[in-house]
Amino acid sequence: MAVSILLVEDDLAIREMLRRPLQKAGYQLHEAGDIASARTALLEDPPDLVLLDWMLPDMTGLEWARTLKASPVTRDIPVIMLTARGEEEDRVRGLDVGADDYIVKPFSPRELVARLKAVLRRTTPTSAEEPVELSGLRLDPLSHRVSGHGEAIPLGPTEYNLLHFFMTHPDRVFTREQLLDKVWGTNVYVEERTVDVHIRRLRKALADTGHDGLVQTVRGTGYRFSDKD
């Protein structure tokens, strides 16, 4: 699936200048001319990255960036600020609210695409289509298959999504609440103990190939996926 970019810019000429190079680079582009339209676009189809102009008619991009980074629903979406304000103080303000990069106008589309790729590399642990493997356990997102030492491991949809999240975020501890947000989604009501049920199912499925120990319980906190003790 193509990476989705939300471009929030009130200058139509700039949007038109960026549209072709971004699409040529393989990105799925959505456009908004103000924050109100951007909010609607984000709710309908959350983007993988936001290109956000500083000066907008209904709210500054700086204010909206601060809102995005303060919300647990949107804080992980990378934000690149686009602005004519090149003073050091302004750059610091942009980065202080959580922006992942800050590009001063005028800039070339080629520079923007390069900076965009750099931010995505930093903020995306593993490509959504790239197979991941740890200690002989392999998950292939394209074929939706999981195997352990070459032996197929059948998983239910929730266990598959849980394993995919774990394998793309190894060695990090997640609370049950964080797992609910990341795997089940913020718009679904599920009790935290449901996480424990699916963890048990996942471990049972991985036991035949000896990979159940990769799903580790961190007492008093949650769970971690790791081949380290």
36 and 117 in a single domain? The answer is: yes
Q: Are residues 183 and 111 part of one domain?
A: no
Task: Return the closest-CA partner of residue 164 out of 191, 198, 188, 196.
Answer: 198
Domain final residue pick, 123, 141, 172:
123
Q: Which of 89, 123, 157 is the last residue of a domain?
A: 123
Residue 229: what pLDDT? Answer: 74
Residues 203 and 153: their CA atoms lie apart, in Å, by: 11
Range of 179's domain?
A: 132-225
Please give the C-alpha separations between residue 95 and each of 39, 89, 98, 120, 185, in angstroms, as whole numbers: 21, 10, 5, 16, 28
Q: Where are the alpha helices (DSSP H) in 25-156?
A: 35-44, 61-70, 88-96, 109-123
pLDDT at position 100 is 82
Same domain, 24 and 116: yes
Question: Which residue ranges of the chain lie beneath pLDDT 50?
Answer: none
113 and 144 belong to one structural domain = no
List the CATH number of the domain containing 12: 3.40.50.2300
46 and 155 in a single domain? The answer is: no
Strand order through the sheet with 137-140: 132-134, 137-140, 145-148, 151-152
Residue-level pLDDT at 182: 81
Separation in Å, CA 113 to CA 21, 25, 29, 32:
8, 8, 13, 19
- Same domain as 170, residue 67: no
Helices (H), 140-192: 157-168, 176-179
Cα–Cα distance between 184 and 117 in angstroms, integer?
Answer: 28
Whole-number Å distance between alpha carbons of 126 and 65: 24
Pair (51, 160) in one structural domain: no
Looking at residue 45, its pLDDT comes to 83
Instruction: Report the chain's terminal Cα–Cα distance, integer Å.
Output: 35
**Co-location of 51 and 85 in the same domain:** yes
Residue 95 sits at the vertex; the CA angle it makes with 53 and 181, to the nearest 5 degrees, is 90
Instruction: Report whether 126 contacts 133 (CB < 8 A).
Output: no
Structural domain ending residue among the three candidates 123, 145, 180: 123
Does residue 107 sit in the same domain as residue 162? no
Tracing tokens 């686009």 back to the chain, one arrives at 82
Write the pLDDT tens digit of every residue in 122-153: 666 555 567 999 999 999 988 889 999 999 99
| Structural domain total, the chain | 2
What are the tens digits of pLDDT across the range 18-52? 999 999 999 999 999 999 999 999 988 888 899 99
Please check whether residues 74 and 164 belong to one and the same domain: no
Same domain flag for 106 and 155 = no
What percent of the chain has pLDDT above 90?
48
Asked whether residue 119 falls in the same domain as residue 137, the answer is: no
CATH code at position 176: 1.10.10.10
